[in-house]
Amino acid sequence: NAGVTQTPKFQVLKTGQSMTLQCAQDMNHEYMSWYRQDPGMGLRLIHYSVGAGITDQGEVPNGYNVSRSTTEDFPLRLLSAAPSQTSVYFCASSPGGYSNQPQHFGDGTRLSIL
Amino acid sequence: EDKVVQSPLSLVVHEGDTVTLNCSYEVTNFRSLLWYKQEKKAPTFLFMLTSSGIEKKSGRLSSILDKKELFSILNITATQTGDSAVYLCAEGSQGGSEKLVFGKGTKLTVNP
């Protein structure tokens, strides 16, 4: 049981480049979300999805796109990377609905934008 | 203004000490209050407190939720060096534990 798997673990980009951070879960969870963690800021919600085909914005969505075509996958796209997007990105999932089950996190992707 | 406030931001103790970590939250759309432990990588789940479950205990760790005063505490007794980590508190405002708003965390260092 792999849980929540994020790839890549590390990435360095140049300003203006685009890339996709991958997130996959094998627990048949309906709810998936993306957070970024910056020093002294805690984790902040970027986007989330309550099921396949349904996504919504979190607290800091600007500069990021998401889609949810399957239950298992929830990729995060940076369309034109900026140095302010240098951060550690975490994906999380939970059964969703009113299951009262906690979110479980992947190991994160450390992203540096030069 | 931060919705979830943790204190202290950092704490250094000796093995065997008991520590209390604090977390205050807002009541708007409150669904749950969660505690996570973060070492080098992913936050790992500790406790989830809701209106129907305001006390949790697991080994040396315990947590309570005060719905009247809008805060939660995480207690760790007989601390060990392996307890050294950042402890994160988060408020869930949708469904069970969705749309989490995190505090900045408390960095706990346990010295031998």
| B chain contacts of residue A61, beta-carbon cutoff 8 Å | none
Please list, residue by residue across A38-71, b when 16 or more beta carbons sit within 10 angstroms of its beta carbon and e when fewer do. Answer: eeeebbbbbbbbbebeebeebebbeebebebeeb
Q: What is the pLDDT of residues B66-90, one digit of tens each?
A: 988 889 999 999 999 999 999 999 9
CA dihedral (B86, A60, A99, A74) positive or negative: negative
Nearest to B58 by CA among B43, B76, B42: B76
Angle, alpha carbons A97-B92-A9 (nearest 5°): 90
What confidence score (pLDDT) does residue B63 get? Answer: 97
B99 and A100 within 8 Å at the Cβ level: the answer is no
Report d(CA B89, CA B107) in Å as an integer.
Answer: 12
Is the CB of A100 inside 8 Å of chain B's CB atoms?
yes
CB nearest B97 (choices: A42, A101, A106): A101
Is the CB of B43 inside 8 Å of chain A's CB atoms?
yes
Is the CB of B101 inside 8 Å of chain A's CB atoms?
yes
**Nearest C-alpha of chain A: how many angstroms from B53?**
11
DSSP characters for A7-45? E-SEEEE-TT--EEEEEEESS--SEEEEEEEETTTEEEE
Checking if the pLDDT of B3 tops 60, the result is yes
| A chain contacts of residue B32, beta-carbon cutoff 8 Å | 100
Chains A & B: contacts with CB separation below 8 Å: 74
What confidence score (pLDDT) does residue A1 get? Answer: 56
Mean per-residue pLDDT, B95-100? 78
| A chain contacts of residue B88, beta-carbon cutoff 8 Å | 42-43
Token code pair at residue B110: 């346990």
> What is the pLDDT tens value at each position of chain A, 114 positions in all?
569 999 999 999 999 999 999 999 999 999 999 999 998 888 999 999 999 999 999 999 999 999 999 999 999 999 999 999 999 999 999 998 777 789 999 999 999 999
Mean per-residue pLDDT, B23-42? 88
Checking if the pLDDT of B1 tops 70, the result is no
Is the CB of A34 inside 8 Å of chain B's CB atoms?
no
**In the structure, what pLDDT confidence band is assigned to residue B54 with cuts at 50, 70 and 90?**
confident
Is the CB of B84 inside 8 Å of chain A's CB atoms?
no
Q: What is the pLDDT of residues B39-51, one digit of tens each?
A: 988 999 999 998 7
**Nearest C-alpha of chain B: how many angstroms from A82?**
24
